[in-house]
Amino acid sequence: MIRIAIIGSGYVGLVTGVCLSDFGWQVICVDRNEESIHKLNTGVPAIYEPGLEDLLIKNLNNKRVSFTTDIKEAVNASDVIFIAVGTPQKENGSADLTNVYEAAHQIGSFMKQSKIIVNKSTVPVGTGQAVKKIIREELTLRGMDFSFDVVSNPEFLRQGSAIQDFTHADRVVIGAESKEAIEMMKEIYRVLYLNETPFLIVNIETAEMVKYASNAFLAAKISFVNELSELCEKTGANIQQVAKGMGMDGRIGYKFLHAGPGYGGSCFPKDTKALLHIGEVNHCSLGIVKATIDANEKQKHRMVRMVLQAMGSLKGKTLGILGLAFKNNTDDMREAPSLTILGELALQGASFRIYDPKAMQNALPLLAAKQIPVLECCEDEYHTALGADAVILMTEWNQFRSLDLDKLKYGMRDLYFFDFRNIYSKEIMAEKGFYYYCVGRA
Ligand code: UDX
């Protein structure tokens, strides 16, 4: 039985801990947030993620997963320690590694025998070696001299499908320096290994780079279609069909070519900026990454312009907002395009009726901080449209895909419909009497 400690019970740490316990290992998760640890021990996760709560309760009942605020206890009770703490963005765009380094100091100061330390946090190239140095220094301070391994094992989870992504990963990337560490990592992921999931075994630096490279490339795909969406609008082309035609080329692929209001979330915005910063530090100009970031900002402003051009002045106008989260199936509001877009529309005089199936609680303080005037927090789609001059479909929640359009328009003051996720057909919307606007479909 492999004994695993996970330091950091946020999004990645919690999903990793619960899934590894479900693989059959004994897992102890640590976090300094007492309230959230208490709740987790009673089977209540602090985040909304489909399937997570059931898996948590199952493995709490099996006594395979537990939660503590005591990092010393967790370090001593484990053979392998995962670091899964946050690496937020600093003002200059770089990743703030304070939490990672603090975890390394603590591990080094409590470790009494050889262990494997696995870094899952998204970190700049070179962090694995820095972690190794910190742990070695802590051991030396205590007069100890035994070997240990540091491994990089980046995570590619998507919010909203994190459990599925963990248990059916496209690949497992392991950056390691010893045969023992590689064998241990393969054993931990035995379930995936047996399922013929590809394993990429590389050095620590390469594994660290794979994570940033993957996220930046995906973000670039989105920015590319978003940029072309404007050209499609101006030339009479249809971005959805263009993306389909591109995707038919196996070298391009269909995925991540959906035009929309710009990417958001806890990863793409932060990781693209961090990669740009790593480039600057290493005197490499990453022009494509820079253009990706710029195009994403532009796309959000373009959505605002679309509304203004269609509706004219927004003074005294009420906009009904369907969805606030940065994407569907999550309650996460980090870097959500809705915040920028609503902020700018508010400056033009608009007020809002808002609804999101899961993100309302997280959204409200952020909207308040930006002084975005919310007239009413609504109960559902139809309540949101009541008395509104326009509806903006911001997030592609499944329940917004099959709206009863007659019911929706029934209480509306005017019939503008902005579909930022390209869900509806122009013909049907016109038939129903809406002034319909979408992204990249002229
Ligand atoms: C992403 C990566 O996919 C994941 O591998 C990594 O570990 C963390 O970052 P996540 O942020 O959860 O995951 O969401 P994702 O589904 O990738 O979407 C990110 C953003 O891109 C969302 O705002 C989404 O709406 C947008 N997006 C995605 C598009 O606008 N168009 C697309 O075609 C795909």
pLDDT digits (tens, 9 = 90+) for 47-79: 889 999 999 999 999 999 999 999 999 999 999
pLDDT in tens, 97-128: 999 999 999 999 999 999 999 999 999 999 99
Closest atom, ligand 1, to C-alpha of 267: 9
Spatial CB neighbours of 359, under 8 Å, sequence gap ≥ 6: 323, 324, 325, 330, 331, 332, 333, 336, 395
Are the C-beta atoms of 358 and 430 separated by less than 8 Å? no
What is the DSSP secondary-structure string of 11-64?
HHHHHHHHHHHHTT-EEEEE-S-HHHHHHHHTT--SS--TTHHHHHHHHHHTT-
- Give the rounded distance of the alpha carbon of 291 from its chain centre: 21
| Closest ligand 1 atom to 161 CA | 12
Nearest to 325 by CA among 333, 334, 316: 333
On whether 389 is known to bind a ligand per the annotation, the reply is no
Token pair for residue 351? 């007020």
Binding-site residues, ligand 1, Cβ < 6 A = 155-159, 215, 218, 222, 256-258, 260, 263-265, 267-268, 326-327
Whether 397 and 160 have beta carbons less than 8 Å apart is answered as: no
Angle at the Cα of 25 (from 21 to 27), degrees rounded to 5? 60
Alpha-carbon distance 407 to 390, whole Å?
14
Q: Name the CATH superfamily for 268-438.
A: NAD(P)-binding Rossmann-like Domain (3.40.50.720)
Burial profile 48-82: b = 16 or more Cβ within 10 angstroms, e = fewer: bbeebeebbbebbeeebbbbbeebeebbbbbbbbb
Rounded to two decimals, the ipTM of the complex is 0.97
Helices and strands of the chain, counted as H and E runs: 18, 14
**Catalytic site residues?**
267
Give the residue ranges of DSSP H helices in 111-188: 127-141, 162-167, 179-188
d(CA 324, CA 358): 9
Helix (H, G, I), strand (E, B) or coil at 4: strand
Q: Is 257 annotated as a binding residue?
A: yes
Is 256 assigned a ligand-binding role in the annotation?
yes
CATH number, domain 3-202: 3.40.50.720
Closest CA to 226 of 297, 275, 326: 297
Q: Give residue 394 CA to ligand 1 midpoint distance, Å.
A: 15
Segment 284-321, tens digit of pLDDT: 999 999 999 999 999 999 999 999 999 999 999 999 99
pTM attached to this predicted model: 0.95
> How far is Cα 393 from Cα 261, in angstroms, rounded to an integer?
10
| The two three-digit tokens of residue 256, written as one number | 């991540």
Percentages of the chain per state (helix, strand, coil), in multiples of 5: 45, 15, 40
Residue 26, CB-side half-sphere exposure with 13 Å CA sphere = 9
State the sign of the Cα–Cα–Cα–Cα dihedral 358, 377, 260, 302. negative
Q: How much distance in Å is there from the Cα of 438 to the middle of ligand 1?
A: 20
Query: φ and ψ at 176, to 5 degrees?
Result: -145, 165
Q: Which of 124, 267, 282, 276 has its CA nearest to residue 209?
A: 124
Residues of the chain with CATH 3.40.50.720: 3-202, 268-438
Helix (H, G, I), strand (E, B) or coil at 275: helix
Expressed in angstroms and rounded, the spacing between residue 429 Cα and the centre of ligand 1 is: 28
pLDDT 10s digit of each residue in the chain, 442 long? Answer: 999 999 999 999 999 999 999 999 999 999 999 999 999 999 999 888 999 999 999 999 999 999 999 999 999 999 999 999 999 999 999 999 999 999 999 999 999 999 999 999 999 999 999 999 999 999 999 999 999 999 999 999 999 999 999 999 999 999 999 999 999 999 999 999 999 999 999 999 999 999 999 999 999 999 999 999 999 999 999 999 999 999 999 999 999 999 999 999 999 999 999 999 999 999 999 999 999 999 999 999 999 999 999 999 999 999 999 999 999 999 999 999 999 999 999 999 999 999 999 999 999 999 999 999 999 999 999 999 999 999 999 999 999 999 999 999 999 999 999 999 999 999 999 999 999 999 999 8
CA 157, 189, 51, 380: dihedral to nearest 10 degrees?
Answer: 10
